[in-house]
Structure 1
Amino acid sequence: MKRGCFLWRGEPVAFGDGESIAIALTKAGMRDLSTGGDGGGSRYFCGIGACQNCLVVVDGAVVEACLTPASDGLDVAALGGRHE
């Protein structure tokens, strides 16, 4: 299985062939993706883009982490200014 790496909040995250950003982050133990509208953390939930709970910023664009394929060199950041 091909492996690659993208940056999450400046730290490298490995992924396997065909994995989404959300799956790679989940496998790496990252559950809290950003600050949700209620001030709590948002996370990967539905896996089909319906809940919009896994929104992240990828190279400056807001995307659903569950629908966005992981690829080498992406710069992925939390939506809402959360940096933990």
Structure 2
Amino acid sequence: MPGLTLGLKYAKGQKVDPTLLGSAQAARLRLEGEDGKEWERVTDITYTIQSGSLKNVSAQWRNSTNRSTYADSANENRLIFRYTFKF
């Protein structure tokens, strides 16, 4: 379908030094002698109008998930609208 895009991102971190962090989770890791870990996944679905009076207007839905052993985990949904100006 013209104008529709899908983007996927994934990041993973390991061996995070908890001595540099001040969270309760990091304190627990320090007591147990363990390193921190985390991962994040972001999915973007975007549709851009291809013609007419709203040409180049886009709507994007972003869903992200973050999990961590040294900080609070998070889930997030965003709805983003864009318009590109051409000079």
TM-score, normalization: structure 1? 0.26
Q: Which has the higher helix share?
A: 2
Higher relative contact order (CA 8 A, sep 6+): 1
Task: Compare the two structures and name the one with the higher strand fraction.
Answer: 2
Higher Cα radius of gyration:
2
